[in-house]
């Protein structure tokens, strides 16, 4: 018997209760879920494109349906029951498919996420730009939500504007007020949303992703004009984050962008989720660059490859390297030796004398 709309909502809730992150609907196979980083087939019959389309129709507005028909893909966010989900509906080889991300609605303290205390300090900065980076599914949105919640509950009273595609966590005001805008529904683009927000008297601007040259320029303007900007990039570390930003603009503008970045960069938080040794989910390993005069000078002089060396020696500024973060997790028995060796930049360092670093 084919899965029904009701069963889809139950299925999503069930996967969420098991700590799953994604559900995939694809033609010709049963629904698939990613739980603790592993893809698993769910106990339903194979789906047809027709069935998938019927399941998804209730989750598309007329405007979204027009985008889908025109572009063969559309993003949307939905609250179903007690949870919120991000739908990416698409076509592949003429068939209909969907990837549904389960968005955590409960925000957790930064310490519970396993992030170093410096992240909380960064969250309450008054201006500049902070990047949270990592691959898809590395917990960037969860970290940014925790930082916003830190501002909301522990920071100074602020007006916080988020620009997302789609809106993920819905925040309840505490000491701060929120304006949450969705690209495609409330604003035509990230760049337009950012420029509008600058005129709306924000203290904090949270940008779901910098996707193009226009949104990068707009984010830099927001940071330069006295706002705290939190945003994400799909980069693996601080050096590649700076390189990605600079290479996204024409060559004649790269020196200007480097100067902007050097002036307003506060930090880069790069993270990766690793499987726990006990098999109970995943744990975050992170690398943190905090902007210092030396870092700013390297950016201006385009010596971006040297940034990793600064992180190694930046303990007193709250910096931590990826390898030290992983070694800390291994020394506490949180991850296995095999996992540590697989994900370290310099795995040979794991066999050397262990050097502790605050985490």
CA angle 166, 65, 215 (to 5 degrees): 35
Domain containing residue 10: CATH number: 3.30.450.90
With CA atoms as reference, report the closest residue to 31 among 4, 59, 69.
4
Asked whether residue 191 falls in the same domain as residue 306, the answer is yes
Q: Which of 24 and 36 is assigned the larger pLDDT?
A: 24
Q: What mean pLDDT do residues 148-174 have?
A: 93
Asked whether residue 162 falls in the same domain as residue 301, the answer is yes
Q: Based on the structure, what is the number of domains in the chain?
A: 2
With CA atoms as reference, report the closest residue to 36 among 84, 85, 102, 82.
102
CA distance 80 to 116: 33
Q: What mean pLDDT do residues 233-253 have?
A: 93
pLDDT band for position 95 (cuts 50, 70, 90): very high
Asked whether residue 359 is assigned to any structural domain, the reply reads no
Instruction: Give, for 122, the enclosing helix (H) or strand (E).
Output: helix 118-123
**Are the beta carbons of 340 and 350 closer than 8 angstroms?**
yes
Percent of the chain scoring above 90 in pLDDT: 72
Asked whether residue 294 is assigned to any structural domain, the reply reads yes
Asked whether residue 38 falls in the same domain as residue 169, the answer is no
Asked whether residue 38 is assigned to any structural domain, the reply reads yes
Asked whether residue 175 is assigned to any structural domain, the reply reads yes
Asked whether residue 333 falls in the same domain as residue 237, the answer is yes
Backbone φ and ψ of 308, nearest 5°: -60, -35
Residue that is last in its domain, among 103, 136, 155 = 103
Domain span including residue 80: 5-103
**Per-residue pLDDT for 112 more than 60?**
yes
Residue that is last in its domain, among 48, 68, 103 = 103
CA distance 183 to 190: 6
CA distance 107 to 64: 28
Q: Which of 312 and 93 is assigned the larger pLDDT?
A: 93
Percent of the chain scoring above 70 in pLDDT: 96
**Per-residue pLDDT for 354 more than 50?**
no
**Per-residue pLDDT for 355 more than 70?**
no
Give 74-91 pLDDT, tens digit per residue: 988 888 887 889 999 999
CA distance 23 to 308: 36
**Per-residue pLDDT for 358 more than 50?**
no
CA distance 141 to 357: 26
Give 201-216 pLDDT, tens digit per residue: 999 999 999 989 999 9
**Structure-token pair, residue 232:** 């994400």
Backbone φ and ψ of 261, nearest 5°: -65, -45
Asked whether residue 307 falls in the same domain as residue 219, the answer is yes
**Per-residue pLDDT for 123 more than 50?**
yes
**Are the beta carbons of 118 and 357 closer than 8 angstroms?**
no
Asked whether residue 52 falls in the same domain as residue 124, the answer is no
* Mean pLDDT, the chain, whole residue set: 91
pLDDT band for position 248 (cuts 50, 70, 90): very high
**Per-residue pLDDT for 2 more than 90?**
no
Asked whether residue 224 falls in the same domain as residue 132, the answer is yes
Phi and psi based region of residue 304 (left: phi greater than 0; alpha: psi -120 to 50; beta: remaining): alpha
Asked whether residue 82 falls in the same domain as residue 147, the answer is no
**Are the beta carbons of 308 and 321 closer than 8 angstroms?**
yes
Domain containing residue 254: CATH number: 3.40.50.300
Q: What is the CA radius of gyration of the chain?
A: 21
Asked whether residue 111 is assigned to any structural domain, the reply reads no
pLDDT given at position 205: 98
pLDDT given at position 6: 58
Asked whether residue 109 is assigned to any structural domain, the reply reads no
Residue that is last in its domain, among 43, 78, 103 = 103
């Amino acid at each position: 018997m084919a899965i029904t709309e009701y069963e889809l909502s139950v299925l999503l809730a069930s996967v969420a209760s098991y700590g799953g992150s994604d559900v995939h609907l694809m033609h010709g196979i049963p629904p698939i879920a990613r739980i603790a980083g592993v893809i698993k087939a769910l106990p339903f019959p194979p789906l047809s494109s027709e069935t998938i389309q019927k399941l998804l129709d209730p989750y598309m507005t007329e405007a979204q349906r027009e985008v889908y028909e025109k572009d063969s893909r559309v993003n949307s966010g939905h609250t179903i029951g007690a949870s919120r989900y991000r739908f990416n509906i698409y076509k592949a080889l003429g068939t209909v498919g969907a990837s549904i991300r389960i968005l955590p609605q409960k925000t957790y303290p930064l310490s519970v996420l396993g992030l170093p205390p410096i992240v909380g300090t960064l969250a309450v900065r008054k201006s500049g730009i902070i990047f949270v980076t990592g691959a898809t599914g590395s917990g960037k949105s969860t970290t940014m939500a925790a930082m916003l919640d830190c501002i909301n509950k522990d920071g100074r009273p602020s007006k916080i504007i988020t620009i997302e595609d789609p809106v993920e966590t819905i925040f309840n005001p505490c000491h701060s007020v929120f304006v949450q805008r969705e690209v495609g529904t409330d604003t035509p683009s990230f760049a337009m949303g950012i420029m509008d927000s600058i005129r709306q008297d924000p203290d904090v601007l949270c940008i779901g992703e910098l996707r193009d040259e226009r949104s990068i320029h707009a984010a830099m303007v927001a940071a330069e004009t006295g706002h705290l900007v939190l945003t994400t990039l799909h980069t693996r570390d601080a050096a590649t984050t700076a390189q990605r930003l600079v290479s996204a603009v024409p060559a004649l503008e790269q020196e200007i962008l480097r100067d902007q970045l050097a002036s307003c960069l506060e930090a880069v938080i790069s993270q990766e989720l690793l499987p726990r040794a006990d098999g109970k989910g995943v744990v975050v390993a992170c690398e943190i660059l905090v902007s210092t005069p030396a870092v700013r000078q390297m950016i201006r002089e385009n010596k971006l490859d040297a940034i990793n060396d600064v992180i190694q020696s930046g303990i007193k500024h709250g910096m931590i390297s990826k390898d030290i973060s992983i070694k800390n997790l291994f020394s506490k028995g949180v991850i296995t030796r095999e996992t540590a060796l697989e994900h370290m930049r310099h795995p040979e360092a794991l066999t050397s004398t262990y050097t502790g670093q605050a985490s």
